[in-house]
Chain A
Amino acid sequence: MKPWLSFVLALVCAGNILAADVSADFVAANKLYAEGKFTEASAAYAAILKTGAQSRALLFNAGNAAFKAGHLGQAVAAYRQAELLSPRDAELWANLAFVRNQVQGATLRESRWQNWGTMLTLNEGAILTTAFFWALFVLLAVRQLRPALTPKLHSVTRLLAALTLFSGTVLALQAANRFNAAIAVVTSVETIARSGPFDEAQSVFTARDGAELKILDRHADWVQVADSAGKIGWFSQKQVAVLPGA
C-alpha cells in the first residue's frame, strides 16, 4: 500500500475511533443523568468537553446536568456555548431562559440587536454574505459579457448589492462582538467583585451563581466586569467562565 494512502486511512480510522469513544462516553453520561446522578453526569459531560469534542447536544446536556446539580453558572455557560453552534434552537432558548430566571441579582441582558444579530452563527453569516457577494460580482461580470442583458439585470443587481451591504454590515458587527466583547458567567455560589485585580482589594459588589457580566478588561488571571447596574469590579478567572461575546 502506498504510504500516503496508509496515512489517510490511519487518519480516518483515528477519527472514527475518537467519535466512537465520545459517543460511548456521551451515552454513559446520559445514563448517569437518567439515574438522577446529576453531579456525576455533569462531570462526565465536562470530561468529554475537555477532550475538545463539541456538539450542540453535548453542550445542551452538559447545561442540563449542571443545572440539575445546582450549578447555575456552569449551566448558563454551557447553554451559551451551545447557542454559538446552534443559535436558532428553541429548546436551547427555553432552557437558557429557564435557568436565567433562577439566577438572583443583577445580570446582563442582551440588547435587541444582539439577539437579532445572533440568529445566525458567525460561519452562517459569513457564508451568506459570501453568497451575496459572489452572486453580485458574477452578475456584474455577466453584464460585461452580455451587455444586452444589462437592463433586465438592473433591479436584481441593485437588490444583490443591497443584500451584500446589509449582510456584510451585520457580519462585521457580529464579528466585532465575537472577537472584541466577552462575557463572564459567575460559576461560584457567591462571588465578590474586588476594586482591583488582587485578593486583598476591597469588595465592590457581590454576584450570584449564574450572573452574566460584561468583561471590560483583563489582567493576569483577573477580569474586570460591569454588571447591568453599571457597577465595576474585578473577578478571579477561577470564579467565572469566560465566554466570547454573543
Chain B
Amino acid sequence: MRLNLKTLAMLLAVLLPGAVWAAAFTASLDRDTLTLGERATLSLAFEGGLPGNVSLPQVTGLHMEQVGNSSQNTFDFSGHGTTVTTYLIAVAPQQTGEFTIPAINAEINGQKFSSRPLKLIVGKAIAPSAAAVNSGDQLAFLKLVLPKAKIYVGEPMVAYLELYVRDDVQPNGNFQMTSSPTDGFNAGKITEQRNQRRVQIGNHVYTIIPLALPLSAVKTGSLALGPFTATISVLQGSHEGDPFAQLGSRSPFFHGEQKQVTLATEALNIESLPLPQQNQPANFSGAVGQFDLAASAGPTTVTVGDPITVRVQVSGRGALDAVTLPAQDAWKNFKTYPPTTKLETTDQFGFQGTKTYEQIISPLNNDVQELPALTFSFFNPEDGQYHTLTQPAVPLTVKAAGTSPMPQIAATKTSNEEKPAQDILPIKENLGTLVANKMPLVAQPAFYAAQAVPVLAFLAAFVWRKRTDNLANNPRLRRQRAVAALIASGKDDLKKYAAANQPDEFFATLFRLLQEQLGERLDCPASAITEDVVDGHARLRNAPAALRIALHEQFQLCNQTRYAPVRGSSELNSVAAQFEKLLGELQNLKS
C-alpha cells in the first residue's frame, strides 16, 4: 500500500509538471578556515527549479570560479519529488585575512531568494617546527636548501626545494607552488630533479624529491628568499603487501584516502655582496663566473674595406646570458659591425656553456698590420678576484687596392644578435615632420567607403558590357532603337516642313516614317510597307479598327499630296499631330 502511494505520487509529479513545489536556495562553504594556497568550495544549492540571474559577488582578495555543477532528484516520504541543482564554485584566496562572502541573490521560478553571508578565515602557511618534522608526523613537508649563504651580485646559484613525502602516502600528481617570493633575485623556473633519495626521520622513511631553482642576485644587501609555499594532494593508506612499494616505486594498486597538504618553507637570508671596486679592469663588462676565451680571425690577407670575420668564444660557468663582449678600444683602425651571438648551454640551468660572437670588421687603411690583442675580463666569485683573458694579436696583410662591397649584415631587425658594443647612436638634430596622433586608416570608416569606388566602377562597366552584348545579340531590339531615333528626328523634320509650308517634303517624310515604324512593328522591311499592308497583314487585321482607319487616312494623305493643291501650315501641323497620336498607338501594338 505504501509503495502504491509512492508510485502514485511519482505519477502525479510526472503528470503535473506545473505543480508548485517549495523552492529554496542555500549557500555553504565546505570549510571556513584554510591556509593561503588552499582552496575552499562554495556550494550554491537551488531547490525546486533552475536559478536565473545569479551573479557571484566580488570579494577583494578572493578569486571565485565556477568549477562544475550537479543535479539530484529527491523524493520525500510523502512522495513529493524535487530537483536540487548545485553550482560548485572554487574559492581561491590571494591574501591572508578574514573575508566575508556577502549574501548572494538568486531567482527561482520568479521567487527571489537571498543566502546568508559566509565567513572565511585565511591564514598564512607556516613551516612545521623542527620537532614536528623530527617526530615523523608530517605526511609531507618542504625544505629550502641553499648551497651557500653569501653570493656576489650576478653570481648564478641553484637553490633546492626538497619535498619530503612519507612512505605511507603517495603523491597524487597535483603538486602546485602557490608562492615563490624571490624579490631581489632573477629567478628561473622551478624544475623537478631525478636524483630522488630516501631518508629515515623518526619512525618513518621519507622520499626526498628535489626541485631546483636557478637564481642570481640582482641587488646587494641581505636578501630574503622564501617562504615558499605549495600544496600537494596525497593518498594516505597502507602499502602492506604491495610489491611496488617494496621496490620503492609508485604503485598502481595503491588506493587510500586523498588529502591535501599545505607546504611551507622557512624564509632564508642570503647576503648579496657587491662586486669589489678595487682592481676592477677598465674593460670589465659585468661577467661573473669562471670563463675561458678563444678567438680567431680570417681572412688575414685582405684589401682595405674587405670584411674580416672575428670569432670569439667565451666558455665556462656563470651568468652566460649577461656576458657581453667589451668594447675593443684597440680596434679604432677598423670599421666594426654589430656582432651576432649564439649561446649553447650544456646544463639545464643555462649556467654552463659557450657564448660565441661573430663580428665583421674591415680595415680602414693599409697601415693596419695586425688585429690587436682581444681582452675579456670577468669576476670569479670563487676566489673573489678579477681576471683578464687576452688573445694575442693576429698579423694581417692589408693591401691598398680598391674597396670591396661590404656584406649586408648590419642591424637586421630579424636577428636576435647582440648590437653595437660601444654606445647608442647620437640624437637627431632636426625635429622632422610632426605627425598628428590620429587613428590609423584601417580604423576609419572613410577608408572602407573609399574601397567601394573601384568596385562600383567595375560594376558599372560590367552592366554596360552586358547591355552592349545584349543589344548586339538582338537585331529586333537594335532596329527598335534605330527606328525610335529616326522617328524622334523625323518628328522635328515634320514640324520644320510644316512651318515652312513645304508639303512635298512633309508628306515624303511622313510616308517614310510610317514605313519605318510599321516595318519595325510588323518585323518586315520598311520598303515593303504600303497602304495594302494595313488590311493584308495578320497582326494589323487584329488591331483596333480606329487604328487601321487612322493608318489608311495617313497613307491616303501621303498619296493625295501629288494631286491635291498646296496645303497651308496649319493643316500640315494638324496632320503631324495626328501622326504623333498614331505613333503612340502603333508603339503600343504588340510586335
Residues of A within 8 A of B (CB): 19, 22-23, 26, 30, 33, 52-58, 60-61, 64-65, 67-68, 85, 90-91, 93-95, 97-101, 104-105, 109, 112, 115-116, 119, 122-123, 126-127, 130, 133-134, 136-138, 140-142, 144-145, 147, 171, 175, 178-179, 190, 192, 195-196, 198, 200-206, 208, 229
Contact = CB atoms under 8 A, between A and B. Distances in A.
Given A30-B429, A95-B425, A196-B63, A204 B219 contact: no
B431 A58 contact: yes
A98 B322 CA distance: 13
Nearest to A30: B427
Interface string B422-458: 0111111111111111001111000100110111011
B411 A64 contact: no
The 8 closest A-B pairs by CB, nearest first: A137-B454, A97-B419, A57-B428, A144-B461, A141-B461, A126-B441, A144-B465, A61-B427
Given A57-B430, A98-B420, A205-B187, A130 B450 contact: yes
5 contacts: A68-B424, A94-B338, A97-B417, A100-B419, A134-B454
A90 B435 contact: no
A23 to B, nearest CB: 5
B122 to A, nearest CB: 12
Contact of A144 (B218, B423, B437, B462): B462
B185 interface: yes
Given A85-B435, A98-B420, A179-B443, 5 more contacts: A30-B429, A60-B428, A126-B442, A196-B95, A206-B185
A179 B219 CA distance: 37
B339 to A, nearest CB: 11
Interface string B460-483: 111011000000000000000000
Contacts of A145: 461, 464-465
A208 B186 contact: yes
Contacts of B457: 137-138, 141
B94 A202 contact: yes
A200 B95 contact: yes
B55 interface: no
The size bracket of the interface on B is 35 or more
Contacts of B416: 109
Given A126-B447, A147-B465, A201-B94, A94 B425 contact: yes
Contacts of A55: 431-435
Nearest to A54: B435
Given A57-B430, A60-B428, A147-B465, A123 B454 contact: no
Nearest to A201: B94
B427 A60 contact: yes
Given A140-B458, A202-B94, A126 B434 contact: no
Contacts, number: 172
B228 to A, nearest CB: 11
Chain A binding surface, main DSSP class: helix
A52 B420 contact: no
Contacts of B431: 22-23, 26, 55, 57-58
A138 B451 CA distance: 12
A96 to B, nearest CB: 8
B358 to A, nearest CB: 16
Contacts of B179: 202-203
Contacts of A97: 338, 411, 417-419
Contact of A95 (B61, B424, B455): B424
A104 B186 contact: yes
A243 to B, nearest CB: 13
Given A90-B411, A104-B218, A54 B437 contact: yes
A80 B332 CA distance: 31
Nearest to B425: A91
B2 interface: no
B324 interface: yes
Contact of B434 (A22, A99, A208): A22
Contacts of A119: 413
A202 B95 contact: yes
Contacts of B365: none
A119 B413 CA distance: 9
B360 to A, nearest CB: 15
Contacts of A56: 428, 432, 435
Interface in B309-331: 322, 324
B537 interface: no
B180 interface: yes
Contacts of A104: 186, 218, 322
A171 B431 CA distance: 29
B39 to A, nearest CB: 13
Contact of B180 (A33, A98, A179, A204): A204
B487 to A, nearest CB: 30
B489 interface: no
Contacts of B219: 190
A205 B322 CA distance: 19
A33 B447 CA distance: 41
Most buried by A among B416, B430, B458: B458
Contacts of B94: 195-196, 198, 200-202
Contact of B324 (A60, A94, A101, A134): A101
A56 B433 CA distance: 8
A19 B431 CA distance: 10
A33 B424 CA distance: 13
Contact of B182 (A65, A133, A206): A206
A190 B424 contact: no
A62 to B, nearest CB: 9
B237 to A, nearest CB: 33
B258 to A, nearest CB: 26
B419 A94 contact: yes
Contact of A171 (B181, B442, B454): B442
A138 B462 CA distance: 12
Given A175-B442, A196-B94, A141 B454 contact: yes
Contacts of A208: 186, 218
A205 B213 CA distance: 13
Contacts of A130: 447, 450-451
A204 B425 CA distance: 36
B410 interface: yes
Given A53-B434, A85-B435, A90 B427 contact: no
Most buried by A among B181, B183, B436, B441: B441
